[in-house]
Structure 1
Amino acid sequence: MSTITLSSAARARATGRHFVPRLSWLWSGLFGCLVILNIAPLIWGILTSFKGQADLFRFPPAFVSFTPTLENYERVFLSGFGGNLGISLVNALAAVVLALVLGLPAAYAFDRFNFPLRRLLFLAVVASIPLSIGAAALLIPNYVYFASLGLTNTPIVLPMLYAAHQLPMAIWVIKGTIEGIPRELDEAATADGCTTFQILRYVILPLVRPALGAAAILVFVGSWNEFVASSVMVDSPSLRTVQPAIYSFIGFFGREWGPLTASATLAILPILIIFALFGRLMVSGLTKGSVKG
């Protein structure tokens, strides 16, 4: 009987060892399919941007058997798209600076100080995080408010809106890291005669740099990809950002697929470069506060 029991247990263990690799292969296959589904449109758009007019409408479509050309990119830059890239870059960087300058002391205050309505205010901050994805519901009140101030169609309106939309996300990311910093460091600095600003500057700031980097990346990406506010708050060609400029290639008589895909390719290049260079920084900043101590 014991022999039979041992044999059954051995078969069960062997079956379990075979089942785990099969399950891992299944998950790997599903993940591979998901990657292909996400990357395929991107690769197809990039290839399309290098096709001439004749190759754009060839059937069956030409994946690699076509003559590459830069005429679509030439047309995009002749339309002033380079200026749109520069405007978007300035707006996004200004939003990053504003969000970090305001987000760091706010996150520190939410974590270290007790003040009236602190929990309620932080709950409002967390509830406002979806603004970083888009704030179409606030478009009309924002437009009415900024129009009454005479700030629509000005260089400062979009950085202010971008920073306001991305600020809750920045506060949440930075606060998560500050929670993992021992309060004893603040107490030791206070005993040495440091003010609150000096503690923030010389103690907290060096320790939250990964979180600041992660927040900066998220703010930059959110500001760069914003479309609704930038297409309504600004209508001057000299202040037009990247996303409305891409949309301008969808004309009354149809889509101009060559310039459209070329401009979209140029628009995603900064995002790809940022994630390629600073992707690890973002992961480090988002996970640094996950373990307190």
Structure 2
Amino acid sequence: MSLPSSVRIVEVGPRDGLQNEPIAVSVAARIALIEGLVDAGLKAVEAGSFVSPKWVPQMADTAAVLAGIKRREGVRYPVLVPNLQGLEAAEAAGAKDISIFAAASESFSKKNINCSIAESLDRFRPVAERALAEERRLRGYVSCVLGCPYEGEIAPEAVARVSRALYDMGCAEISLGDTIGTGTPLKAKRMIEAVARHVPMRQLAVHFHDTYGQALANILASLELGIGVVDSSVAGLGGCPYAKGASGNVATEDVVYMLNGMGIATGIDLDRLAKVGRTVLQQLNRAPASKVAQALAAKA
């Protein structure tokens, strides 16, 4: 299949990225990060989550972040919610885009959210019903689609079952996440093909971690199948909590550079994006995981 002429990037740094960083970032800095990303051309930026601060302290005060950002026309600011209580908090904060999450691995589901896959899906059905009734956009995440830290490889059919359940709940988009970054291009293609037999390709996104340096290759393989939405994190924010010392999310700078070189439009200004990444890394006191960010920093 021919490659898409444009790709929509969902920026996950302010939520998925920062929640795995050991240093908490202030509300003001999180607001500045989100607004800087939008200024660079991002049209979908994860703003935070309403998971209990007891479990994810880095995402405390997400309501204050939503209150502080200057919302732009045509930009989405999705937030993650774990249950009806989280949805209620998101509603009170004025969130228009809601994300829910499930795992393709039973072991991961039980260790991560203390329930089976089936129980997690039952928990999310009333969340989805209420969000859709209020005309909020719903996004679903499936974790461990290409490997689990406890079970090893995951069957594509298992990913397809969970994805179909989220689709049936009304998710407008389902993001397929290689949580531990063990996937390779052929495995990624087989997984996506299995899911696409149950969910339209236009409603799928990919979310690759770069633990083994395969993220860009996996993204390219996904684009060849017709995927048009890619999740990524500015400066590669977010380590992989299941592989000590490993990198986490693929860097938005690396994805944009690759797509620019292929003539695929993203609407993102790479230089401005890299500057935003350098600013947040200074606050976190660490070097960028992104090779492109390192190269641009050397030229700045």
Please indicate, yes or no, whether the TM-score normalized by the shorter chain is above 0.5: no
**Structure with larger Rg:** 1
Q: Whose strand fraction is larger, Structure 1's or Structure 2's? A: 2
- TM-score, length basis structure 1: 0.26
- TM-score, length basis structure 2: 0.25
**Higher RCO by CA contacts (8 Å cutoff, separation 6 or greater):** 1
